[in-house]
Structure 1
Amino acid sequence: MTLPRFDARDFAAATPEMIAAFARDGVLVLENYASVAECDAMKARMAEITTGFDPDAHRTVFSATADEPSRDRYFLESATDIRFFFEAGAIDAGGNLTHPLNVAINKVGHALHTLDPVFSAFSNSAKMMGLAKALGHAKPDPVQSMYIFKQPEIGGEVVCHQDATYLWTEPQSVLGFWLAVEDATEENGCMWAIPGAHAGDAPKERFRRTGDTGTYTETLDASPFEEEKKVPLAVPKGTLIVLHGLLPHLSGPNLSPRSRHAYTVHVVDGAAHYPADNWLQRA
C-alpha cells in the first residue's frame, strides 16, 4: 500500500483531501511542512541543550521494548521539565557511558514545547493548532514533546504501540505530530505504521500511574497487531507525519552509521477528560 503524500510547502490549512486521507488511513504525511532552516535550528538548539547536561547527574535509560519495566521518578516528573534519557547500548553493566554524550542520548523530553522558545514556537504555532482543529480537536492542547535522536548503530527499537495507551483521554483524542529533523530511511530506523488499523479499533493497552513512582500496563485486548500489514514511513527532512492515537506504529533499531533525529509533539483535545492515572501529569 502506498500512502498519499501532500506538499505542505505553502501550508495554510488542511484541505478536504488531507482530512479524508487521515480519516481513512489514520496517518497524514505532509512533506515540506518545516523548512530546512527550521529543522537546522531545532538540531542546533538541541545540541546546545545537551551540551549543558551533566551526564553524572542522571543515567536513566529509555527503552521502548515489550518487556520494559515501570518508569522511575526521574521519568514520571519530566512532564514539567527537560530531561535526558540514554540509549541502552550506551551504558555498560557498571553504569558507565560507552559512547560520547552527543551519541549516547536516546531522547530529551517531555516539556520542550513549553520551556524552550525554539521548540515552543513550532509546537504552539497557529499552523499546528489549526491542523489539530481540522482533524477534530475543539481545544488543541500540547501535553508532551520529545526530541528523539535514534543514534547511529545503537538507536533502540520502538515496538508496535498506540499513543492512546500512554496519553489516555475520554473520548480518545491524542494526535502525534512527528517531524523528521533529518531524513528518515528504512536503513536508519524510519517509522512504520499499519494504515487504517485505527478505524473501529480500541486501545490494546493502557499505561497507568499509581502514586508518585508506580506504573503498570493494563492489557485490554491481548490480540496481536497485524504487523504484516505495516508500511514504511521513510520521509525526507522537514516532513510532518500526523498519527491518530489508535494507529499502531513502530520503528526498528538504527544499525546504520547515520542518525535519525525527530521531534514529536503529542496533542490532546482539552475538551476531553484527562484522567488522573495518566503517567504524565502537569500539575
Structure 2
Amino acid sequence: MNRAPYTPIITFNHTQAARVSHLRAAFERRGGQTQVESKYHTAPVKIAKTFPMGGPVGVMVMDVSPGLLAGDRYEFDWTAHEDAHVYLTNQSFTKVHPCPDLASGSSMRQTFALSPGAILENMPEPVMLYRDAAFSSETVVNLSQASVWMQAEVLCPGRTLRGETFAYRIYRNRLKVSYEGELIFAQHQLIDPASDMLSAPGCFGGLTHTGAFYAFSDQITAKHIEAVRDAVSGLSVREQHPVIAGVTETHKYGFAVMAASTAAWPLQEALAAAWEATRAALLGIGPLRLHN
C-alpha cells in the first residue's frame, strides 16, 4: 500500500518506570487429566481458574486492571509437557488505552513451548484499540513431534460507536512458529492509520475488523485444511456485517484462516467454525465442553 513520509517506529522505548507483568504456567498430564504443574504471576494478570474438561484443562486468564495503559508490558510464558492438552482463554476483551506518544505504547509477548504430543488451544477475546493507543504484540511458538498449537485473534479498530474507528496510533503484530528448532512460519503485520490507505481497495476497503485463526502441527494434512475450508465456506451470510474469509496452507505443517468484517462477533463466529472443524478433523473431538 502507498504511504506518506513518516518516521517509522520499530519498537517501543520502555523506560525503567514501565510496568512489567509476568504470567508463567506449566501443565502436565497425570492420570489421564491435564493439570497445572506450576504457575507464577505478578499483578495485574493471573490465572483466575482452571476447569476440568474430561482430559484437557481449561484455563481462564484474568486482568484485574482496566487494561493495558501507556508503558505496560505483559509477558506470558506457557509450557505444555508431553501429551498435555490445554485450552486458554480470557475473561474479556484486551483493552489497550491511549498513550501520550508512540514511544510510550504498551506491549504483550507470549511464548508457547509444546513437548511431544502436547496440544494447546489459545482462544482469547478480541483486542480493542482505543483512540491514541499504540500496541505491539509478539507470539513465539516452539513445537515438537505430534504437538498441536492453535490460536485465534480478532482486532477491533476502536470503539466504533464513539467514532474511534482507526483512531489509534499504531498496531504491530508478530508471529513466529518453529518446529524442532526450525523456523516454519513468520508473519509481521504493521498498521499505521495516519499513513496507511486503509479504505483503499486491496486493503480494508469498507471493512474495519480483522480476524485470524492459525493451526500448526506435523499431523496436519490436506484433508484437514479442506475440512476447515468447507466449514468457513458454509458460514451463514450476514447482510449487515458481511464476512470475507479465506484459508491458506502455510509453507510447512500449518494453515491460516484470515477474515475481515465490520464487527467483532461475526469474526468470532467464523473463527469458531474453523476451530471446531480443526478439532473434529485433526483431534477427533467435538466442540468445547467444560465439566464441573
**Same topology, TM > 0.5:** no
Greater fraction of residues in helix: 1
Pick 1 or 2: higher relative contact order, CA cutoff 8 A, min separation 6. Answer: 1
Normalising by structure 1, what TM-score?
0.29
Greater fraction of residues in strand: 2
